[in-house]
Amino acid sequence: MKKRITIYLDEDVLDAFKTRAEESGAGYQTMINDALQDSLERERREPKKRSLAEFLLDIPKSDTDEDLFPRIDDDATDRDVFD
């Protein structure tokens, strides 16, 4: 079921759909609807991949960073840290 709405689009977007519609003989509103449907379907099939920054921001922080990353003395050697 379709519903009538009022929407503001960038002029270049509207012009591009109207040009494509004239060339294909289809209605530009139908073409816009189809493009939106395709975008939604693609999003359902391929969920947005999160960036590393987004992933890291979701990691709960501990009370102190030292719980996860203990402070290492500048004079410590690898043997002191990993043994």
CB 21 within 8 A of CB 28: yes
Count CA atoms within 13 Å of residue 1 on its CB side: 1
Distance (Å, rounded) from C-alpha 4 to C-alpha 6? 7
Hey, where are the domains in the chain? 11-82
> For the residues of 9-28, what is the DSSP string, one character each?
--HHHHHHHHHHHHHHTS-H
Please give the mean pLDDT across all residues of the chain: 81
Range among 49-53, 60-64, 68-72 with highest mean pLDDT value: 49-53
Instruction: Flag whether pLDDT at 6 surpasses 60.
Output: yes
pLDDT of residue 46: 80
28-59, pLDDT tens digit by residue? 999 999 999 999 998 888 877 778 888 788 77
Q: Which residue has the higher pLDDT, 26 or 44?
A: 26
Count CA atoms within 13 Å of residue 8 on its CB side: 0
DSSP 54: H
